[in-house]
C-alpha cells in the first residue's frame, strides 16, 4: 500500500504534517477529512516494495533519516504495551506511526507495516533497515515470533534499550560539567595568550631590558598563539581526521582498541562497559531461545572492542567443540576474572541466563560509581590546573615590574 506525506490544517487552523498509507491520493484525502484534518498537499513517498528490490536505496534512506536510539527504545516500549494489551501487530504499529515525532522514523514504521501486510515476518521487515535495528533486535524479534512469545520479547527488548539509554544518560550528565569547564578553561587561556599577553609584553620589549626566563617563555608561547593560531587549529583538525581514518582500517582499529584497554582507569572502565554489554545481550538472547553459538555470533559484533570481539569469536569455536563458556572465555585472558567465575557458577547451577544479567548489573553499577568518583576529582583538578596556568601568566608579567621597581630604588 502506498505511503503518503501530507501537509494539512486541523480544526483550529494550525498547520500539521505527517504520513499515512492509503490506496490512492484521493483515498488519503478522504481518510484525512474523516479525521477532521483538511489536506493542503499530499505526495507519495518511496514504497516498501521498491526498498526490497533495491537494498542500496534502503541504506541510503537510513543514512538520510537518522533515528535516535531513544526513539527506538520508546517505540519498543509502546509496541510491547499495545501487543500485551491484545492489539494485532499491524494495528499496533499503525497506532504508533502518528505518535512518532521523527518524520523519517514514521516512514520506516509505515513501510515495515506494509511489509508485514504483504506477508513478511516482523523480523524480516526490520532487517530491511540494518542501520537502524541492530542484529540483537532483529534476532530477538525473530526468536519471539518463532516461539509465539513476541510480547515477552518486546518487553525484554524495551528493558534492554531503556537500561542502556539510562546508563549512557547518567554517564553523559556526570561528564557534562567537567567537559564544559575544560572547554571554557582552554578558551580563556587561548584568549589570554592570543590577545592580552601580547599587548602587555610589547611594553617590556620596547624598554629593551633583559626579561626573566618565565616572561621570555610566556612571550614566545604568546607569539606562537598570536601568529600561528590557524596552524594549531589545522593541526588539531588533521589529528582528529587522522584518528578517525585510522580507526576505519583493521589494523588501526585493533591498535586503537588495544590502546584504550591499557589506559589507566579509562581502560578498566571501557572493559567493564563492554563486558556489561556482552553479558546483558547474551543473557537476553539465551532467555529468548537463541542457541549459544548463534548468540555468541551476534554479541561479538556489539561489544565495541575488537580484542573482546576476537576473544568471543575464539570462545565460540571452543564452545562449538563442547567446551564450557566460562572455560572458553578464560582462555583469551582478557575478560575480568570475576565475570568468568560468575559465568562458571551460572553454568554449574543451570542458571546461566540470570547470572549473565547479574554480571551486567554488577559492572554497570561499578562503571557508574567510578564515573561519579572521577567527575568529583576532575573538578578540583581542573580548577588547580587553571589556577597554576593563570598564576604563571600573572607571575611572568609581574616579575619584570618588580625588577623595574628595584632599579628605580
Q: Where are the domains of the chain?
A: 1-45, 52-133, 149-409
- Residue 300 class from Cβ within 10 Å (0-12 exposed, 13-18 middle, 19+ buried)? buried
Q: Cell for 263?
A: 589506559
Architecture of domain 52-133: Up-down Bundle (1.20)
Confidence at residue 345, expressed as pLDDT on a 0 to 100 scale? 92
**How many other C-beta atoms are found inside a 10 Å radius of the C-beta of residue 33?**
12
pLDDT of residue 1: 59
pTM of the model: 0.63
- CA–CA distance, 284 with 288 (Å, rounded to integer): 6
Residue 45: per-residue pLDDT: 66
| Residue 229 backbone dihedrals phi, psi, to 5 degrees | -60, -35
Distance between CA 11 and CA 214 in Å, rounded? 73
User: What pLDDT does residue 408 have?
Assistant: 58
Neighbours of 162 (CB within 10 A): 15
Provide the pLDDT for residue 238: 92
How high is the mean pLDDT of the chain?
79
* CA-only gyration radius of the chain, Å: 29
pLDDT under 50: residue ranges of the chain = 47-64
Using an 8 Å Cβ cutoff, are 222 and 211 in contact? no
Q: Would you put residue 100 in left (φ > 0), alpha (ψ -120 to 50) or beta?
A: beta
pLDDT at residue 406 in the model = 65
What would the grid cell of residue 281 be?
A: 545481550
C-alpha–C-alpha distance, residues 371 and 49, integer Å? 47
pLDDT of residue 169: 80
Q: Which CATH number fits domain 149-409: 1.20.81.30, 2.60.40.10, 1.10.3720.10, 3.40.50.1980?
A: 1.20.81.30
Amino acid at each position: 500500500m502506498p505511503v503518503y506525506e501530507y501537509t494539512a490544517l486541523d480544526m483550529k487552523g494550525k498547520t500539521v504534517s505527517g504520513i499515512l498509507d492509503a490506496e490512492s491520493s484521493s483515498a488519503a484525502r478522504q481518510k484525512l477529512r474523516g479525521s477532521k484534518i483538511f489536506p493542503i498537499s499530499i505526495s507519495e513517498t518511496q514504497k516498501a516494495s521498491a526498498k526490497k528490490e533495491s537494498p542500496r536505496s534502503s541504506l541510503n534512506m537510513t543514512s538520510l533519516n537518522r533515528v535516535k536510539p531513544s526513539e527506538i527504545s520508546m517505540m519498543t516500549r509502546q509496541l510491547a504495551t499495545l501487543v500485551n494489551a491484545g492489539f494485532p501487530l499491524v494495528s499496533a504499529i499503525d497506532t504508533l506511526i502518528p505518535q512518532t515525532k521523527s518524520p523519517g522514523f514514521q516512514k520506516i514504521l509505515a513501510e515495515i507495516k506494509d511489509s508485514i501486510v504483504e506477508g513478511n515476518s516482523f523480523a524480516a521487515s526490520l532487517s530491511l533497515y540494518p542501520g537502524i535495528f541492530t542484529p540483537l533486535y532483529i534476532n530477538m524479534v525473530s526468536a519471539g515470533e518463532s516461539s509465539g512469545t513476541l510480547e515477552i520479547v518486546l518487553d525484554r527488548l524495551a528493558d534492554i534499550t531503556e537500561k542502556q539509554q539510562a546508563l549512557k544518560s547518567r554517564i553523559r550528565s556526570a561528564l557534562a560539567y567537567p567537559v564544559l569547564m575544560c572547554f571554557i578553561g582552554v578558551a580563556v587561556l587561548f584568549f589570554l595568550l592570543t590577545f592580552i599577553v601580547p599587548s602587555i609584553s610589547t611594553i617590556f620589549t620596547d624598554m629593551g631590558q633583559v626579561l626573566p626566563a618565565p616572561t621570555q617563555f610566556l612571550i614566545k608561547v604568546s607569539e606562537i598563539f598570536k601568529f600561528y593560531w590557524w596552524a594549531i587549529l589545522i593541526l588539531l583538525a588533521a589529528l582528529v581526521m587522522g584518528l578517525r581514518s585510522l580507526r576505519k582500517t583493521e589494523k588501526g582499529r585493533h591498535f586503537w582498541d588495544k590502546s584504550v584497554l591499557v589506559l589507566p582507569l579509562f581502560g578498566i572502565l571501557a572493559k567493564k562497559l563492554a563486558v556489561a554489554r556482552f553479558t546483558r545481550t547474551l543473557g537476553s538472547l539465551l532467555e529468548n531461545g537463541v542457541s549459544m553459538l548463534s548468540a555468541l555470533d551476534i554479541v561479538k559484533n556489539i561489544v565495541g572492542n575488537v580484542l573482546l570481539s576476537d576473544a568471543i569469536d575464539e570462545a565460540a569455536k571452543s564452545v562449538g567443540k563442547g567446551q564450557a563458556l566460562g572455560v572458553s572465555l578464560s582462555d583469551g585472558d582478557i575478560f575480568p576474572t570475576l565475570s568468568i567465575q560468575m559465568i562458571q557458577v551460572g553454568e554449574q547451577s543451570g542458571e546461566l541466563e540470570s547470572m549473565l544479567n547479574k554480571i551486567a548489573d554488577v559492572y554497570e553499577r561499578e562503571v557508574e560509581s567510578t564515573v561519579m568518583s572521577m567527575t568529583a576529582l576532575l573538578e578540583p583538578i581542573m580548577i588547580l590546573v587553571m589556577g597554576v596556568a593563570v598564576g604563571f601568566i600573572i607571575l611572568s608579567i609581574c616579575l619584570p615590574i618588580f625588577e623595574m621597581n628595584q632599579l628605580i630604588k
